[in-house]
Structure 1
Amino acid sequence: MRDILIITNYFPPETGAASNRIFHLADGLQKHNFKVSILTPLPNYPTGKIFKTYKGNFKHSSTENNINVHRLWIYASNSKNKLLRLIAMLSYSFSLFWFFMWSKIPKTVIVQSPPLLVAFTSVFFLRSKKRKLILNVSDLWPIAGLELGAFKKNFSYKLLEKIERFNYKHANSVLGQSNEILSHVTSLFPDKDTFLYRNYPDFVTPKISERTISKGKLRIVYAGLLGIAQGIYKLCNELDYTNVQFHIYGNGAERSKIETLISNNSELDIIYHGEVSRDKLHEALIGYDLAIIPLLNRIYGSVPSKIFEYARLGLPMVYFGGGEGEELIEQYNLGWITEASNYSKLNEVISKINPNELNIEFKEKIKASAIKHFDFQTQLQSFIHEI
């Protein structure tokens, strides 16, 4: 049995794509005879507060699903203040350094990036000719931060670029969730070993249901983070509700704005359901006509994991984000695409969708395509062969 350590900022009971991705990777590895350990902060996402069960702990270790989970101290914060967020990342980096000093580290380590500083701490202290470091890159920072408007090209940005390059240089191999990520890495380090590791889900697919008519409208759903990058608040304001009812699941920075908008504008056919468990969400999602996947701006390297999850549920999509995600929707006939940030075009595309097309046969084709092309176990087997 081989030991492997995964260092990540997110892990259950935290919710979201990053947490799910790392859990499925860890669970898959332990089922293939790996002894898996996780290093992660005390749970705090997305509230920015340590979860009640873990309050008062400096460190918490447990065995969950045959995985050894070590939860380390962090100064938790989801503040928009950049200094407080920096302090939060540095606090976890400090905890990692302390753990490295007093613990035996396996010869194979997977490091999640971003956050860049956490990845840098791990790579800096663990790089060794006797150890294999695998950098799992889910988003391209600081490029993504620049495209989102979070950064400017100044001294701080150049420093983050140097940290990014250091991490790539000293990792033995790089996992990337998109071909764009891998292209970026090899443009900097042409000889670097890379592996395309997408965020494929691993769950038993529920039975697809007949579409439910609601006021004669298309029932469109968004489920996920209500953050700045997704732009759900703006989407609520821009959608044409003539033939659309919009359902929202999730939590995040824009939640209060969305709730206020709904409260003050009863003419907008929007229903906010709050945050629900993943299993309950899947049961709800299969009853909708369409899912929408928006990005406020096209982000280089980003491929929303919702594409793979919705496809496995047989849920048609309207993709509103550009880039590689757009290519996947077209390649596997998963729904419709439209130009990011062009709301008039989005409304035009939705208005031309024939509800009769959104039948069980169409949804079953999407589901079958996902099972064939987005299979978690097939990908995992290929990755294990590369370790």
Structure 2
Amino acid sequence: MHILFLTDNFPPEVNAPASRTFEHCREWVKAGHQVTVITCTPNFPKGRVFEGYRNRLWQSEEMSGIRVIRVWSYITANEGFIKRILDYQSFMMTAALAAPFVRNVNVVVGTSPQFFTACAAYAVSRLKRIPFVFELRDLWPESIKAVGAMQDSAAIRALEHLEMFLYHKAARIVSVTHSFKKTLITRGVSSDKIMVVTNGVDMSRFKPMLKDAELVSQLGLEGKFVAGYVGTHGLAHHLETLLDAAERVRTLPDGAVFHFILMGDGARKQALKDEAVRRGLNNVTFIDSVPKDQVARYWSLLDVSVIHLKKTDLFTTVIPSKLFECMGMGLPVLHGVAGESADIVRDEGVGIVFEPENADELVAHLVSLLQNRSAYESYKVRSLEAAKKYDRKTMAMRMLDVMAQLTR
């Protein structure tokens, strides 16, 4: 089977869509299938072309047996709604134009969060007369409204009509959460065409390890209980809650023990750094994104991982992919997200759920984990046990089976 995968994020970018796509495609190649990925020049999230690449009309490379075709797109930072739409639409056009030059394809996959990539995949499916699979990673454009980036308008309603059109035209929809599937069913999409393949963890990279001594010394973390957030610093994540918690712990008797790390990039990062300076938060360290092969070293610095999203009903339907990486690393989780992902944390016993945007609860649970070592160690053990259920290899094979059924 020859799988054509359209995605605007791919390594060396290190965000969740890039990691999921690469790790799935790698496993499909190992299983004996041919995989071609059409993507753009790596630039996320700063909107700057990565070293060693140029934003050309067409360039090709191979990664772990995957043929990767990179096409030109309008590149902008991950901020500003109009510019981002132009970014998405430009890739949609160039990806659709490049796809006809990829021969003997059996199935085409288009992935969200935004669905202009899925539009290109649908056009390719009609041109080549092959099945179109829509990988649904986000309920877009609903998430635009949820973070306040855009209010309900004629433009939003037009995007919602396009969204429903794609759902109905897809031969299969691969949803990353059960909540997304339920939402689509209530909106009239046939349940028979929706399959759930959650995110997972590459257990060859994310596994328990001692704290990296060089980084501990470099960042001055000796003797600290380190709480960390690893991921995008965007409107959806409301990381001001972590700054509030860092400010509150300073008033505790053992407050000097706690240190917070925020690692990654995004539209809100500079504002968060400025706010930390304004408050004099010397117990907060910001770290830029690092190459994929270095990420686990930085995860090793953490005693506990904080996962957080803005308090809104939409985010009760998502499962942050970093939850599975925490499991693989054997890290207890403080989970500031309600809904399906909170159920996983409780059911698997991998950490503690707190109310989103509630810094007081976050601080109380941090103190509890520091003081109750038996509970802390129990969360570590349960995390490692749970990770086996979400091995990325298993998830990749589930999605492969969906495509194999379509091409028989």
Contact 1:11 1:20 in 2 (8 A): yes
Q: Which piece of structure 1 moves more, 143-152 or 185-194?
A: 185-194
**Cα distance per residue 1:152-184 (max 9 Å; x no partner):** 221111111111111111100011110011112
Q: 1:340 maps to which residue?
A: 356
Alignment partners' CA distance in 2, 1:236 and 1:222: 11
Residue identity matched to 1:226: H
Partner of 2:57: 58
**How many residues are paired up?**
385
Corresponding position of 1:146: 145
Note the residue ranges of structure 2 that are not aligned, 5 or more in a row: 404-408
Structure 2 equivalent of residue 291 of structure 1: 305
**How far apart are the structure 2 equivalents of 1:223 and 1:131?**
38
Give the structure 2 partner of residue 229 of structure 1.
236
- Tell me, yes or no, if structure 1 residue 321 matches structure 2 residue 337: yes
> What's the counterpart of residue 189 of structure 1?
189
User: 1:139 touches 1:301 (CA, 8 Å); kept in 2?
Assistant: no
Distance change (3 Å), C-alpha of 1:260 and 1:54:
same
Structure 2 residue identity aligned to 1:381: M
Q: Do the aligned partners of 1:117 and 1:163 also contact (CA within 8 Å) in 2?
A: no
Distance 2:358 2:64 in 1: 45
Q: Which of the numbers 367, 380, 384 marks the counterpart of 2:384?
A: 367
- Equivalent position amino acid for 1:356 in 2: R
Match of 1:218 among 207, 225, 230: 225
1:31 to 1:153, Cα distance in 2 relative to 1, 3 A: same
RCO greater where, 1 or 2, for CA within 8 Å and sep 6 or more? 2
- 1:276 counterpart residue number: 290
Matched, 1:350 2:366: yes
- Out of 332, 337, 346, which is 1:330 matched to? 346
Mapped to 2, the partners of 1:304 and 1:286 lie a distance apart of 19
- 8 Å CA contact retained: 1:10, 1:45: yes
Aligned to 2:52, the other structure's residue is in SS state helix
Give deviations 1:98-149, integer Å, cap 9, x for gaps: 2245443612111102322221232134237941211100111112222111
The code of the aligned residue for 2:110 comes to: V
1:3–1:238: structure 2 CA closer, same or farther, 3 Å change rule?
same
Conserved 8 A contact 2:207-2:328: no
Instruction: Give the superposition deviation at 1:15.
Output: 1.5
The residue aligned with 1:28 is 27
Q: Does 1:44 align with 2:43?
A: yes
Rate the CA distance shift 1:370–1:258 in 2: closer, same or farther, 3 A: same
Counterpart of 1:381 (choices 397, 402, 406) is: 397
Q: CA deviation at 1:359?
A: 5.3
CA RMSD, Structure 1 to Structure 2 (Å): 2.5
More deviation in 171-180 or 221-230?
A: 221-230
Bigger mean CA deviation after superposition, 148-157 or 258-267? 258-267
Partner of 1:254: 268
- Give 2:385's aligned amino acid: A
The TM-score, its normalising length taken from structure 2, stands at 0.87
Letter of the structure 1 residue corresponding to residue 168 of structure 2: K
- Would the aligned equivalents of 2:209 and 2:300 in 1 still touch at CA under 8 Å? yes
Residues 250, 358 of structure 1: alpha-carbon distance in 2 compared, 3 angstrom cutoff: farther
Q: TM-score normalized by structure 1?
A: 0.91
Aligned equivalent of 2:14: 15
Deviates more, 1:133-142 or 1:104-113: 104-113
Partners of 1:279 and 1:361 lie apart in 2 by 28
CA distance in 2, matches of 1:161, 1:8: 20
1:278 and 1:356 map into 2 onto residues whose CA distance is 31
Identity, in percent, stands at 21
> Where does the alignment leave 5 or more consecutive residues of structure 1 unmatched?
none
- Rounded to whole Å, the distance in 1 between the matches of 2:30 and 2:222 is 47
What's the CA shift for 1:369? 2.1
CA distance in 2, matches of 1:208, 1:125: 44
Deviation at 1:151, TM superposition (A): 2.5
